[in-house]
Amino acid sequence: MMVRRSFLAAGLAAVALPLPALAAALPRLQVWREENCGCCVGWVDHMRAAGFPIEDNVVRSVAAARRRLGTPSDLLSCHAGLVGGYALEGHVPAAAVTRLLAERPAGIRGLAVPGMPVGSPGMEIPGEAPDIYDVLAFDARGGRLVFMRFRGGTSV
C-alpha cells in the first residue's frame, strides 16, 4: 500500500500543468502602457510567461489609469496594471503578484516597484549587475511596507 501511494504521489508531482490550464487559474491582468516603452513590453512578456492572461492597453498617457487605481505619485514607474482587484505599478515580479493573490492581505490596495531597477522584469540589461530593490505594498491611507525584496528577478 505504501509503495503504491509513493508511486502515485511521485507520478502526480511529475505532471506539469500545461500553460493554458495555468493561465485559466490566474486572473486577467489589465496593463496600461505607452506605445514606445520597450521595458513595458518586457514586463508584459514576463507576466504572460508566468501564466497571466493579459489585456494590453496602449495609451497616450498612463495618468488616467493611475488615478483610477489610486496609485500614489511617489511610487510611479512607467506602466500600471490591475489584477484581482489590486493595482500594480512598475516592474513588479510575477512572484510578488502571485503571492499577493494567494495571501490577499487585508488593507493592501496594490504593489509598486518605483523607478526602474536594473534586472527587474523588463529591465534586464546584458552585462549590468542586477539591483536589489523592494516591492512595496501600499494602502488607501498612504501606508507603505516592504512586501518582498528582489535582486533582479530573484527573491532575496
List pLDDT tens digits, range 31-67: 999 999 999 999 999 999 999 999 999 999 999 999 9
Identity of the residue numbered 83: V
Residues 6+ apart with CB under 8 A from 29: 47, 52, 53, 54, 55, 81, 82, 83, 88, 97
Whether residue 2 is contained in a domain is answered as no
Angstrom distance (rounded) from CA 58 to CA 153: 25
User: How far from each other are the two terminal CA atoms of the chain, in whole angstroms?
Assistant: 41
List pLDDT tens digits, range 84-131: 999 999 999 999 999 999 999 999 999 999 999 999 999 999 999 999
State the residue range of the domain holding 75: 17-155
Half-sphere exposure of 127 (CA within 13 A, CB side): 0
Overall number of domains in the chain: 1
Whether residue 117 is contained in a domain is answered as yes
pLDDT band at 24 (very low <50, low <70, confident <90, very high): low
User: In the predicted model, is pLDDT for residue 71 greater than 80?
Assistant: yes
Whether residue 9 is contained in a domain is answered as no
Whether residue 21 is contained in a domain is answered as yes
